[in-house]
Structure 1
Amino acid sequence: TLTSAEPGGGHGALHLDVTTSAPRRDVDLFGATFQGIDQGEEAAAWLSDFLGVPSRLVRVPPEHDRKTDGLIPGTSGYADSGAVHLLSRSSLTHLHARMAERGAPPLPMDRFRPNIVIDSRPEARHGEDWAAEPHAEDRIRRATIGAVDLGYAKLAVRCAVTLVDQEAGARGGPEPLRTLADYRRAAGGGVVFGAKFSVVRPGKLSVGDEVAVEEWGDAEA
């Protein structure tokens, strides 16, 4: 069951039994056409009313097989690229320190919308806690978390969505892109923060699982 609710409860809550047997409809994803399973009129009406534009809710069908690029290719649903976005808390802490030098306030982790957040281990001996190093995720090539095996695809290029305050639903100032441009500019253009990974072996992972790095590499320029 999928539950969607507006903060404040103005539109009530949507409780939906997600189905895989409903009709398919075309889904446009960055100019490419895929199929999605339409989740019906109730979901469409709730989303259209809440968003203020005609909307439909679709589910990725079981036969969906969209290939993604990167060092270790994989598959993805409707994400722009890469199935998993991984970011470490130490990288965000480092960004906050640089932003503070400009007098800018810190930003929440969810501003960057990572699927997996890596935290350091306070009990680790000095020099053994690789997650305490900012941007160490850039050098991971293969890792296991819980029962999931991940393979590095590429660095995550950040767009203007990071400028939007999710709580207010409005675009704020120039941060974090202004500060990231000082030290995280990619050779091919844009700024990078975090890394995208392909799912090599699907499985279950949980909060608190150890990130076991099987292979390291050099960070991309």
Structure 2
Amino acid sequence: MRLSALYRYPLKSSLGEPLQRAELDALGLVGDRRWMAVDAESGRFLTQRLLPQMTQLCARWQGSERLLLSAPGLESLSVAVPDETASLRRVIIWRDTLQVPDAGDAAAAWLSDLLGRPCRLVYVPEARARQVNTHYAEPGEKVAFPDGYPLMVIGQASLDDLSRRVGRPLEMLRFRPNLVVEGSEPYAEDSWKRIRIGGQTFRVAKGCSRCIITSMDPRTGERSADREPLTTLKTYRERDGEVYFGQNLIHGGSGVLEVGMDVEVLE
């Protein structure tokens, strides 16, 4: 088995970015989901579930200190990583509430124009990151702005099998993984407990429950009229009212990943 693809998402629910090489830090892939759009009044996080136009939002790092925002019809905007203590904003992501730096009025105006509602752009430094669910993680293991876990893996064979069942090819980016593994059997990742990629080890925390975002074309934001692939997934991947596809991972520390690295199941 080998690592066949790497993806990061600099701004939560924006366009994915394919990488050939990525570093790991305490929160996952360096630069992954460190930024997030939130409702200006409530501070609640915003995603494609509510705002399909976020599929057109491209956020790309410029070095390690700035983020470039771009979208069709708007002039690009470069945003500096905000100071860790200035202009803290209360934000809500699922059950977590935290105080994080706000990226300023220019970024807020740009995002509000794109999304058609008052919103703010926020950033999470490592010191203000969230604790991963301690049912699956150790105290002190943190996550930035993913839904719950630092990393997520999908086997390419699992997507191929799902595409066959649906009857048309499906894009991997519908499922927004960080890591894609080639050479395993379909859904082999369901049984993994620990894996090694290159010199890095990862614990498999739990299956990844899926939502309506998987039924949206990642290029256009259009929802499938037949609600695929959720409709098909529900026929064989539903458990306790949730539909699962892919596995959430917790990594063992800093390091480097590169496409092509060997993947070994340790447990």
Q: Please, what TM-score do these two structures have when normalized by structure 1?
A: 0.82
Structure with bigger strand share is 2
Alignment of 1:102-113 (within 5 A): 105-113=168-176
Partner deviation per Cα, 1:47-79 (whole Å, 9 max, x = no partner): 111111111111112312422235445421122
Specify the alignment match of 2:231 in structure 1.
Answer: 178
- Residue 90 of structure 1 aligns with which residue? 157
User: What count of residue pairs does the alignment treat as equivalent?
Assistant: 197
1:50 and 2:114 matched: yes
Residue 144 of structure 2 corresponds to which residue in structure 1? 77
C-alpha separation in 1, matches of 2:146 and 2:232? 26
| Aligned-residue identity in percent | 38
Partner Cα distance (1:147, 1:4) in 2: 34
Relative contact order, CA 8 A, sep 6+: which one is greater? 2
Instruction: Give distance in 2, aligned partners of 1:2 and 1:146.
Output: 29
Deviation at 1:93, TM superposition (A): 0.3
Structure 2 unaligned residues grouped into runs of 5+:
1-65
> How far off its partner does 1:153 sit?
0.6
Please give the secondary structure, in 1, of the residue aligned with 2:119. coil
| Kept in 2: contact 1:72–1:152 (CA 8 A) | no
Q: CA deviation at 1:212?
A: 2.7
1:114 aligns with 2:184: no
Contact 2:209–2:244 (Cα < 8 Å) also in 1: yes
Tell me which residue corresponds to 1:144. 196
Q: 1:28 to 1:212 in 2, by over 3 A?
A: same
How far residue 147 of structure 1 moved from its aligned partner, in angstroms, is: 4.6
Give RMSD over aligned pairs.
1.8
Q: 1:33 aligns with which of 97, 112, 120?
A: 97
> What is the CA–CA distance in structure 1 between the aligned matches of 2:95 and 2:266, rounded to whole Å?
36
